[in-house]
A and B are shown apart, each in its own frame.
Chain A
Amino acid sequence: MVKNILEVRDLYLYYKTYKGIVQAVDGISFNIPEGQTLGIVGESGCGKSSTANTIIRLLPKNTYKYEGSIKLNGEEITTIPMDEFRRTIRWRKVAMVFQGAMNSLNPVLKVGFQVAEPLIVHLGMDKSEALDRARQVFEKIGLTPAFLDRYPHELSGGMRQRIVIAMAMIMNPQLLILDEPTSALDVSIQAQIMNLLKSLKKEYHLSMIFITHDIALASDISDLLAVMYAGEIVEYGPIEEVLLNPQHPYAQKLIASIPRLREDKEPEFLPGNPPGLINPPKGCRFASRCPYRFEKCSEAPDLVWINGNHYVKCHLYSEGK
């Protein structure tokens, strides 16, 4: 039985805005076994980045509710004082490649310094020592050490993405969260980055959370897949299970919308928009767009076990249907 590196239970993250409370992460649960990769897919604004930020505890000032349990290697990390969390967990054990980070490196600092800085901050290394380590990481990441002295604007998008990955990998974390690491890159560079991630995964037995809105991409690297919709995980399971045998109507639609080569079937598309996260509907959040909607859908569904490690949040599969 493989140990779980991460166990998330009933995680909530609400934001307070002048329009109301944004229920960005609304009671989600999932596990990631050691060395495996969880893909999180979903439409824009469904709460993927919020989920990631909650795990690494980067909460904005307007956080309204932050609740739930996050266990890293079996240890509860939500109750660790902020200071200690910063010193011992964030970046040391859990590192992250932020969404769009490659386009927002500090323009006036050399990338070598930016990659090396966590070592200076966390381990108190002096600059030259830290840069030496950064050089080693550069080599692993497929960058020539000469790039240490470059400024971000002197590098291509693919190189900058490698730089941000190097920044996250420099402390040898156990869990790496990647928030849409390839969405701004063209397809061939995207493939290079995916290959790099796969090799890191294999070489370091690295556990990852891979966030994307592109199911095909997620399937390329993930062992598990979570489908998010309006702040909730509506389906979660091993990747082949979810892809080949999707249960939730939303997941089914999503997978059917992947364009396929050599197939006559037109990709489907989903009419309508997801509900806003401020005062979302009481019952199932997908109900308004669901072709199988029935009375019970006005009540909030629970997570239903399908088989093995496959769960779905839909009344179609609950007992008293």
Chain B
Amino acid sequence: MSVTRSGWQIYISSLVGKAGLILLIFMVVASIYVLATYPLDYGIRVWSNPKSWADNPITVPPTWVDFFTGRDLVTHHITITTTSKGTETIAGLKFKVYELDYDLEEDGFPTYLMIKIYNVSMYSERGVYFVINFTRPDGDEIRLITFAEVPPPNSDLPYIAFSKNEKIIFLSKERSVGFSLLTYINSKYNLNYTIDKLNEINYNKVLFGIPTEEGGEVVWKPLKGVYKINVYMLGEDKDNIAMLKAVFGGESYGFLGTDDNGRDLAQGLLFGFPVALAIGFFTSIVTTAIGASLGIISGYKGGRVDEIIQRISDVVYNFPFLPIIILIVFIISRMPGFPRLLAIFGAIVALGWPGLTILIRSMVLSLKQSQFIEAARAIGASDRRIMFKHIFPNLAPFIFAQMIFFTPGAILAEAALSFLGLGDPNIPTWGQIIEESFRAGAALNGWWWWVLPPGLLIMLAAITFVFIALGLEPIVNPKLQER
């Protein structure tokens, strides 16, 4: 049962062992990448914070689905400018001009158009006046919206507007944009639409498309080319916009798409690697440590101690795992401020140890009879010394394999609890993400990119450890060793 160099050779010569090791290395590398690049409080600061995802399209598939759809989906695009293009005098008034470009290359419509204005400094109490114009590839310029912003009375100058919260204008939803578009299509295409009809066909189609006749029906087709958003600002000469941002909503996003909060699933799933490994390793290490120590003590000491440990482990062993663990986590998670992940960890450990205790005890019972243990006792070694220096090394490979065996169980248990809504909403785990997709009806809506990847990752993690355990089996259980 000793792990020697030949043990390693046996392990690495087995196909599953190698596969498991490669998968584990992959998981570890992913985890190290996350730990190096993500903030530690990523869950609270980024994942659960709607602000970090406000620009993103909602429930869109990954970009690479282009390969399968046959049409290039419109990619998500953000244009930012911090400098003015210059000034322009219109009707004797001098406007500062900011320009945001967008090149529509795909055969589709951006899903929305949004503009964000940050930190506008105003040097007069009269404030500023904004005009937002939209220029299309066909040369048409549409005035989308105009509005004024005035410093509150008696404020110090210069006053910075939109500093705490940027000004967000959802151009593809804004009612005044709708009226501008109605005028535009009426004069250009002679189309007499009502505002309701326009709402129905969607502003983006009008903004980024042209109408065509198809069987007596008007069908809007996307218009490729360069679009410009011009923001005109009327105010003092020194008045200034710190930053402008235009968001052209994509039909696809990133490597794994987004959820219904616009969250980048690839990012959240990547964060799941260290969490899964930590849950798996931590719970299995603690569970095996407790299970093995109690098993060794129980088997070696015998008598009352043995009796007590065995009765307790019998009882706990026969608890129905999932119902009890749900109950425990449910109760603990009601305590305010108690980290749920810790509750899950504690519950898995509390219910997980007895199996190993019972196994190890029976192994110790037979080891205890062996002469080298009697000899160790004869030379005067203490019970503690015998248990840890003589018995433990004999069981170490087995205990190690059990630890590996337990790891996928812990990962799956966490996933199951999260799926049942008992997970920690502030920490994106794979189970957590599946649960959210389930709650949002992702499966019914066909949002497969939200359901499948976390499921596959949970499976991958479990398989990794099962492979490693299978690779260890012939070393730990010499009877299986083929020579």
Q: Which A residues are within 8 Å of any B CB, using their own CB?
A: 56, 58, 86-87, 90-91, 96, 98, 100-101, 104-109, 114, 117-118, 121-122, 151, 153, 167
Decide if B1 touches A98 in the complex (CB within 8 Å). no
Would B385 and A106 count as touching, CB distance under 8 A?
no
A107 to B374, CA, bound (A): 14
Which of A56, A100, A101 has the largest count of B CB atoms less than 10 A from its CB?
A: A101
Is B393 an interface residue, CB under 8 A from the partner? yes
- Contact status of A106 and B372, CB under 8 A, knowing A121-B385, A151-B2: yes
Residues of chain A within 8 A of B396, CB atoms compared: 108
Q: Indicate if the CB atoms of B371 and A104 lie closer than 8 Å.
A: yes
Complex interface: chain B residues within 8 A of A108 (CB): 1-2, 393-394, 396
Would you give the shortest CB distance from B107 to chain A, in whole angstroms? Answer: 69
Point out the residues of chain B lying under 8 angstroms from A101, CB to CB: 371-372, 375
Contacts of A122 in B (CB 8 A): 379-380
A91, B1: Cβ atoms closer than 8 Å: no
B372→A105 contact, CB < 8 A:
yes
For A121, the chain B residues whose CB sits under 8 A away are 379-382, 385
- Chain B positions within 8 Å of A58 at CB level: 374, 377-378
Q: Known pairs A117-B381, A121-B382; list 18 more (Cβ under 8 Å).
A: A87-B380, A90-B378, A90-B380, A91-B379, A98-B371, A98-B374, A98-B375, A104-B371, A104-B372, A104-B375, A107-B1, A108-B2, A109-B393, A118-B380, A122-B379, A151-B2, A167-B375, A167-B379
Minimum distance in angstroms from B59 CB to a CB of chain A: 56
B69 at the interface (CB under 8 A from A): no
Chain B window 369-393, contacts with chain A (Cβ cutoff 8 Å), 1 for yes, 0 for no: 0111011111111100100011001
- Cα distance, A308 to B379, chains bound together (Å): 37
| B348: min CB distance to chain A, Å | 30
A-chain residues with CB within 8 Å of residue B381 when the two chains form the complex: 117, 121
Least CB distance from B120 to A in Å reads 74
Check B371–A100 contact: CB distance below 8 A. yes
User: Which one of B4, B372, B389, B390 has the highest number of Cβ atoms from chain A below 10 Å of its Cβ?
Assistant: B372
A98 to B373, CA, bound (A): 12
B residues near A98, Cβ cutoff 8 Å: 371, 374-375, 378
8 A-B pairs with least C-beta separation: A104-B371, A106-B372, A108-B393, A118-B379, A108-B2, A121-B380, A86-B380, A91-B379
Closest-CB distance, B300 to chain A (whole angstroms): 14
Least CB distance, A87 to chain B, in whole angstroms: 7
A215 to chain B minimum Cβ distance, whole angstroms, is 26
Report how far A151 CA is from B5 CA in the complex, Å. 13
A191 to chain B, nearest CB (A): 25
Q: Hey, which bits of chain B sit against chain A, CB under 8 A?
A: 1-2, 4, 370-372, 374-382, 385, 389-390, 393-394, 396
* C-alpha spacing A109/B385, complex, angstroms: 13
A91 near B378 with CB under 8 A, answer yes
A90 to chain B, nearest CB (A): 7
Residues of chain B within 8 A (CB-CB) of A86 are: 380
Write out the residue numbers on chain A whose beta carbons fall within 8 Å of the beta carbon of B375: 98, 101, 104, 167
- Nearest to A109 among chain B residues (CB) is B393
Shortest CB-to-CB span from B396 to chain A, Å, is 7
The smallest beta-carbon distance between A321 and chain B, in angstroms, is 45
Cα A177 to Cα B66 in complex, Å, equals 84
Of A107, A117, A118, which one neighbours B394 at CB under 8 angstroms? A107
Given contacts A101-B371, A106-B394, A109-B393, contact A96 B2 (CB under 8 A): no
Minimum distance in angstroms from B392 CB to a CB of chain A: 9
Closest to B397 in A: A108
The reply to whether A104 and B370 contact each other, CB–CB distance below 8 Å, is yes
5 residue pairs A–B, Cβ–Cβ below 8 Å: A98-B375, A98-B378, A107-B2, A109-B393, A121-B380
Q: Which residues of chain A are within 8 angstroms of B389 by Cβ–Cβ distance? A: 109, 117
Q: How far in angstroms is the closest Cβ of chain B from A116?
A: 11
The chain A residue with its CB closest to the CB of B371 is A104
When distances are taken between beta carbons in the complex, the residues of chain A under 8 Å from B390 are 106, 109
Q: Which residue of B lies closest to A97 (CB)?
A: B375
* B378 partner, pick from A96, A105, A151, beta carbons under 8 A: A96
> How distant is the Cα of A203 from the Cα of B375 in the complex, in angstroms?
26
Task: Give the residues in chain B near A153, CB-CB below 8 Å.
Answer: 2
Chain A residue nearest to B390 in the complex (CB): A106
Q: Which residue of B lies closest to A57 (CB)?
A: B378
Residue numbers in A under 8 Å from B380 (CB-CB): 86-87, 90-91, 118, 121-122
Of chain B, the residue at the smallest CB distance from A60 is B374
In the bound complex, what is the Cα–Cα distance between A96 and B438 (angstroms)?
A: 70
B481 to chain A, nearest CB (A): 14
Alpha-carbon distance A153/B381, docked complex (angstroms)? 23
**Which residue of B has the minimal Cβ distance to A117?**
B379
A125 CA to B385 CA in the complex, in Å? 15
Query: For A167, what are the chain B residues with a Cβ–Cβ distance below 8 Å?
Result: 375, 379
Which residue of chain B lies nearest to A61 when distances are taken between CB atoms in the complex?
A: B302
User: What separation, in Å, do the CA atoms of A91 and B376 have in the docked complex?
Assistant: 11
Which chain B residues lie closer than 8 Å to A117 at the CB level? 376, 379, 381, 389
Give the CA-CA distance A105 to B370 in the complex, in Å: 9
Q: What CA separation (Å) do A96 and B390 show in the bound complex?
A: 19
Complex Cα gap A207–B435 (Å): 77
